[in-house]
């Protein structure tokens, strides 16, 4: 979760608070980001007291006094949580969440809270870290935690927003993306094909694929070139250009083309950005070997047909010959019979 959107959310809610409480409530509750509004004023007093006692290295202090971390957590007053936070932790109400706060923490949660305290002791007004929490149902979740001291409350830390965004789903998405990338890498490296993309000005923005090597192309050198000029230099006819133009007009196109003696089956798809066509992506699969195999199969099939025709013709001739011989035998028999009479 980036700081930028959080800053905008803080400013929006704070402005609403300054204008009227009703507006602040609407902005706070309707935010899609899980938000905790907390009062750290007692924590601030505790930290200031340690400073007066001569504590300077808070990391070392909290490491040797772990009970102080637990004490500070107990000093925090939860003012409010919004609906997104209730949903994240599986709470049916604010009261249920407040009543069961200890259930959402794990030992790792306290490690992150210690770092949070060190940042506040150093005078920092913002803190961000990944942390581990649990829902009220006991499910472990990874969160991106951002602490933000509300402007004009820096002296006492009486108003602090804590944003807790669920990373569990993002982790699952990232894992899925890794699998997709591995699959894509396998296709690119092993399958005889070419992938490419152009923007709306026909500038090549991506180029990859095993078939580029077979064609003597350098994918890196292709990027940044104008496809019109590139095809013209390569001496390619206008069909590919017309197909890309059709894709940029919003159509999906399929066609076959011969390039450098190789047969390719090609598909080009429009790339859309907020509904508008921003470019096109193409995929060309080398079907030369398939075509050769099909031609070889066709030729062999024709040869078999010819051989079969020849065999059938030979069999017919043999039948005719047998019939002629049978006729001759019959005539000979008749002649022999007449001679004896």
What mean pLDDT is predicted for residues 192-220?
85
Task: Establish if 334 belongs to a structural domain.
Answer: no
Task: Establish if 267 belongs to a structural domain.
Answer: yes
Per-residue model confidence as pLDDT tens digits over 38-96:
999 999 999 999 999 999 999 999 999 999 999 999 999 999 999 999 999 999 999 99
Q: Are 161 and 222 members of one domain? A: no
What mean pLDDT is predicted for residues 192-196?
83
Q: Are 217 and 141 members of one domain? A: no
Q: Are 165 and 231 members of one domain? A: no
Return the number of other C-beta atoms located less than 10 Å from residue 132's C-beta.
18
Q: What is the pTM of this model?
A: 0.51
pLDDT > 50? residue 33: yes
Q: Are 195 and 166 members of one domain? A: no
What mean pLDDT is predicted for residues 282-301?
78
- Provide the domain limits for residue 106: 3-172
CB within 8 Å of 100: residues ≥ 6 apart? 91, 136
**Sorting pLDDT into bands at 50, 70 and 90, what band is 16?**
very low
Distance CA 23, CA 141 (A): 31
Per-residue model confidence as pLDDT tens digits over 89-116:
999 999 999 999 889 999 999 999 999 9
Closest CA to 127 of 163, 154, 173: 163
Give the pLDDT confidence score for residue 220 in this predicted structure.
Answer: 84
CB 34 within 8 A of CB 164: yes
Per-residue model confidence as pLDDT tens digits over 233-290:
666 778 888 999 999 999 999 999 888 888 889 999 999 877 789 999 988 888 888 7
CB 9 within 8 A of CB 42: no
CB 297 within 8 A of CB 277: no
Look at strands 262-273 and 160-166 and give their pairing: unpaired
Beta-bridge partners for 197? 206, 281
CATH code, 109:
3.30.450.20
Q: Are 8 and 142 members of one domain? A: yes
Per-residue model confidence as pLDDT tens digits over 119-156:
999 999 999 999 999 999 999 999 999 999 988 899 99
pLDDT > 70? residue 336: no
């Amino acid at each position: 979760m980036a700081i930028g959107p959080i800053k905008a959310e803080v400013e929006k809610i704070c402005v609403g608070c300054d204008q009227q409480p009703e507006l602040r409530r609407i902005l706070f509750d309707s935010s899609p980001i899980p938000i905790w509004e907390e009062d750290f004023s007692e924590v601030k007093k505790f930290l200031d007291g340690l400073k007066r006692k001569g504590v300077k290295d808070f990391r070392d202090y909290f490491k040797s006094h772990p009970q102080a971390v637990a004490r500070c957590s107990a000093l925090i007053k939860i003012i409010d949580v919004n609906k997104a936070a209730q949903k994240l932790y599986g709470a049916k109400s604010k009261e249920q969440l407040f009543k069961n706060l200890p259930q959402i923490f794990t030992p790792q949660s306290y490690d992150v809270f210690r770092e949070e305290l060190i940042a506040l002791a150093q005078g920092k007004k913002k803190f961000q870290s990944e942390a581990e929490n649990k829902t009220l149902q006991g499910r472990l979740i990874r969160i991106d935690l951002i602490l933000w001291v509300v402007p004009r409350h820096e002296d006492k830390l009486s108003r602090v927003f804590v944003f807790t965004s669920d990373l569990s789903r993002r982790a699952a998405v990232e894992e899925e993306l890794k699998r997709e990338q591995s699959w894509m890498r396998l296709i690119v490296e092993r399958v005889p094909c070419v992938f490419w993309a152009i923007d709306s000005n026909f500038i090549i923005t991506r180029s990859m694929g095993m078939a580029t090597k077979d064609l003597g192309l350098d994918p890196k050198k292709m990027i940044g070139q104008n496809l019109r000029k590139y095809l013209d230099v390569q001496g390619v006819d206008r069909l590919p250009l017309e197909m890309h133009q059709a894709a940029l007009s919003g159509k999906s196109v399929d066609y076959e083309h011969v390039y450098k003696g190789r047969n390719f089956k090609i598909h080009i798809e429009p790339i859309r950005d907020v509904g508008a066509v921003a470019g096109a992506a193409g995929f060309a699969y080398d079907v030369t070997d398939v075509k050769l195999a099909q031609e070889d199969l066709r030729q062999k099939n024709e040869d078999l047909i010819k051989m079969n025709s020849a065999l059938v013709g030979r069999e017919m001739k043999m039948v005719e010959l047998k019939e002629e011989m049978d006729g001759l035998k019959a005539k000979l028999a008749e002649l022999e019979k007449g001679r004896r009479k």
